[in-house]
Amino acid sequence: MTASDLTRSTAAELADLLSAGSVSAREVAAAHLERTAAVDGAVHSYLHVDAEGALAQADDVDRRRAAGESLHRLAGVPIAVKDVMATQGLPTTCGSRILEGWVPPYDATLVSRLRAAGMPILGKTNMDEFAMGSSTEHSAYGPSRNPWDLDRIPGGSGGGSSSVVASFQAPLAIGTDTGGSIRQPAAVTGTVGTKPTYGGVSRYGLVALASSLDQAGPCTRTVLDAALLHEVIGGHDPLDSTSIDAPVPPVVEAARRADVTGLRIGIVRELTGEGFQAGVQTRFDEAVAHLVDAGAEVVEVSCPSFTYALAAYYLILPSEASSNLAKFDAMRYGLRVAPEGVDAPSAEQVMAATRDAGFGDEVKRRIILGTYALSSGYYDAYYGSAQKVRRLIANDFTAAFETADVLVSPTSPTTAFRFGDKLDDPMAMYLNDIATIPANLAGIPGMSVPSGLAEEDGLPTGFQILAPAMADDRLYAVGAALEARLTAAWGGSILDRAPELAATTTKEA
C-alpha cells in the first residue's frame, strides 16, 4: 500500500490491515507524519507534533504483535489529541501563552487509555485559547485552516482536531465539547464528531473550561470510527467524581447495525428554519427524508426554553471559567512575567502582569463576565437565573424524549465562514453554537455527521443528532444509517470531494 492509501484509510480499515499483518504500525504512523510534513504548513492543525514518540509507540506495538501478544483492536492506529488534554512529557498549552512551555507530569485518563490500547499519539492539536471560540482564531498560536478552503475557519474551539482528520493527517482525533466544540468543527469540515453523555468519558486531566459542561469525545471521518474510539476512551474513572459508573453504551454494535426501523426522530422546531443558511436547511431536510426512507418516523417537537439557552450558557460558562482559570497565577504553571518598572514586585503584581500578558482578549472578556455574574448582589440575578433556565432546558428535553427517541437539527446555522468575519463581534461568534449548546446544558449526548454541501458555497453542512443521557448508542445507529444512505448517493465519502491540498502550499496566518 502507498503512504497516501494509508492516510485515506479509516481507522477501522487500518485496524484490519494491522491485525492481518499487511502493514506495520510504524508504516501507518510514518505515512501520517509524512502527510503532516507536506500539508500542515498550510492547515496548521498541530501545535506540537511528536514524531519520535509516535514512532516509538508504533514500534512497541509491532514488537508486541510479532511476539504474539493479544492486542487491542485499534493497536497501531495513530491519533491526534486536542491540546487541552494533559499528556505526560508532551507540551500542553490549551492554545494559550499562559501555559507556554508547560509539560504535564501526568497523563489524562483518556490519554492513558489511548496508550494502553497501543494507539500512537501523533501530536497535540490547535484550539481556541482555553476552548473559548468557534473558529480557532482565538488561539494564541494562530488559527487552523479549513481544508475545504484555506481562507475559512475549521470551526472551534477544536478546529485543530477537525482539520487534522479532514486533511488526512490522522484517522482519529480527540476533541472536547463544552458548547459545541466537537460538533460544530465536524459540521464545517465534513467530518464526524461526538459529544458523549456528560460523565461518559473521564475529565481527569482535561484542563477545565466549564466543569459542568466539558466533555471529551471522538473526531473522525466515519461513524464507525467514532464508535470504536468512543469505546476506548469511555467508561468509569474513579479519578473523576462526575464519571458515570456504568458500562459504555453499545456504540460499536449500533454503528455496525445502523438500524433506524421504527425509530421516532424528533425535529426540534426552535432549531430549524429562521436563522439557518438556506443550503444548510435544504441538506437537513434531505437527510431527514433519507432517514424516513430507512424506516424512521418523524415527529415535530417544541423546546420553548431553548430560546434562552445561549444567554444561560454565556453566564454559566464564564462563571465556571473565571473560577477554573484562577489557578493560572504565575506561581504554579507556565508563564511568569515581572511587572515593568517595579523593583521588588509583590506576588499580586506578578500575577496581574502574568495574567495580563498570558491571556488573550476572549479569555479576559469571559473572566470579567463570570466574576461579575458571581459577585454578591448579582449572583441571584445572573448566575442563579441561568441555573434555573438550565433546569427548564433539561425539562424540555425530558418532555421531547417522551415523543421522540432522538432529536435532530442542523449542527451549525451556517457553513464555514471566512477568517475575520466574526472576530470583532463576540455575539455573532457565540451564535454559532445556538443548536449545540442545549445538549451541554442538559448533559445529554450529541453527534454531528456530514449531510452534504450547501449549494450556495459548496461547503460542508452538518446534521446533529441528540439522544437521552446514556443512550449514546442511538446517535450511532442514526448517524450510521444516514452515512450509509448519503455515501451511497454520493458514491463515496464527502471528503473525496474536498480539493486536494498542494503539498507545497504554505499560508501565513
Binding piece for ligand GLN, criterion CB under 6 A, among 126-134, 217-225, 279-287, 407-415: 126-134
**Cβ contact 62:24 at 8 Å:** yes
Q: Is 162 in the site for ligand GLN (CB under 6 A)?
A: no
Q: Is 181 in the site for ligand GLN (CB under 6 A)?
A: yes
Binding piece for ligand GLN, criterion CB under 6 A, among 127-135, 163-171, 245-253, 300-308: 127-135
Binding piece for ligand GLN, criterion CB under 6 A, among 3-11, 95-103, 132-140, 412-420: 132-140
DSSP 328: -
- In the complex, minimum distance from the CB of residue 176 to ligand GLN, in angstroms, rounded to a whole number: 6
- In the complex, minimum distance from the CB of residue 286 to ligand GLN, in angstroms, rounded to a whole number: 27
For residues 143 and 136, give the distance between their C-alpha atoms in angstroms, rounded to a whole number: 5
- 380 Cβ contact list (under 8 Å, min separation 6): none
Active site residue 388: no
**Cβ contact 465:447 at 8 Å:** yes
- In the complex, minimum distance from the CB of residue 87 to ligand GLN, in angstroms, rounded to a whole number: 18
For residues 246 and 255, give the distance between their C-alpha atoms in angstroms, rounded to a whole number: 20
Q: In 3D, which of 347, 323, 349, 260 has the Cα closest to residue 296?
A: 260
Q: In 3D, which of 485, 480, 486, 484 has the Cα closest to residue 258?
A: 480
Identity of the residue, 187 or 209, whose beta carbon is nearer to ligand GLN in the bound complex: 209
Active site residue 322: no
- In the complex, minimum distance from the CB of residue 489 to ligand GLN, in angstroms, rounded to a whole number: 31
Q: Is 180 in the site for ligand GLN (CB under 6 A)?
A: yes
Binding piece for ligand GLN, criterion CB under 6 A, among 14-22, 113-121, 173-181, 419-427: 173-181
- In the complex, minimum distance from the CB of residue 448 to ligand GLN, in angstroms, rounded to a whole number: 12
Q: In 3D, which of 233, 166, 161 has the Cα closest to residue 200?
A: 233
Give the torsion through C-alpha atoms of 124, 129, 132, 136, to 10 deg: -70
E-strand ranges in 324-480 read 406-410, 446-453, 460-466
Q: Is 135 in the site for ligand GLN (CB under 6 A)?
A: no
Give the chain's count of helices (H) and strands (E): 17, 11
Binder of ligand GLN out of 132, 170, 254, 466 (CB under 6 A): 132
Identity of the residue, 7 or 414, whose beta carbon is nearer to ligand GLN in the bound complex: 414
Binding piece for ligand GLN, criterion CB under 6 A, among 174-182, 224-232, 242-250, 471-479: 174-182
Binder of ligand GLN out of 36, 157, 222, 324 (CB under 6 A): 157
Contacts with ligand GLN in 418-457 (CB under 6 A)? 433
Contacts with ligand GLN in 349-378 (CB under 6 A)? none
Q: Is 174 in the site for ligand GLN (CB under 6 A)?
A: no
Which amino acid type is present at position 374?
L
* H or E element that contains 134: none
**b or e along 230-253 (b: 16 or more beta carbons within 10 Å of the residue's beta carbon)?**
bbbbbbebeebeebbeeebbbbbe
For residue 259, the tally of other CB atoms under 10 A from its CB is: 15
Check 9, 82, 96, 167 and give the catalytic one. Answer: 82
Binder of ligand GLN out of 177, 225, 270, 405 (CB under 6 A): 177
Q: Is 139 in the site for ligand GLN (CB under 6 A)?
A: no
Check 112, 134, 181, 319 and give the catalytic one. Answer: 181
- Backbone φ, ψ for residue 8 (5° rounding): -85, -10
Identity of the residue, 231 or 433, whose beta carbon is nearer to ligand GLN in the bound complex: 433
Active site residue 181: yes
For residues 395 and 302, give the distance between their C-alpha atoms in angstroms, rounded to a whole number: 12
C-alpha cell at 436: 449545540
Q: Is 317 in the site for ligand GLN (CB under 6 A)?
A: yes
Identity of the residue, 141 or 168, whose beta carbon is nearer to ligand GLN in the bound complex: 141
CA angle 447, 147, 181 (to 5 degrees): 30
Check 157, 161, 202, 493 and give the catalytic one. Answer: 157
Q: In 3D, which of 324, 441, 318 has the Cα closest to residue 373?
A: 318
For residue 293, the tally of other CB atoms under 10 A from its CB is: 11
Binder of ligand GLN out of 209, 233, 248, 351 (CB under 6 A): 209
Size of the site for ligand GLN (CB under 6 A): 13
Binding piece for ligand GLN, criterion CB under 6 A, among 8-16, 39-47, 131-139, 325-333: 131-139
Binder of ligand GLN out of 81, 99, 108, 131 (CB under 6 A): 131
Catalytic residues: 82, 157, 181
Q: Which residues bind ligand GLN (CB under 6 A)?
A: 131-134, 157, 177-181, 209, 317, 433
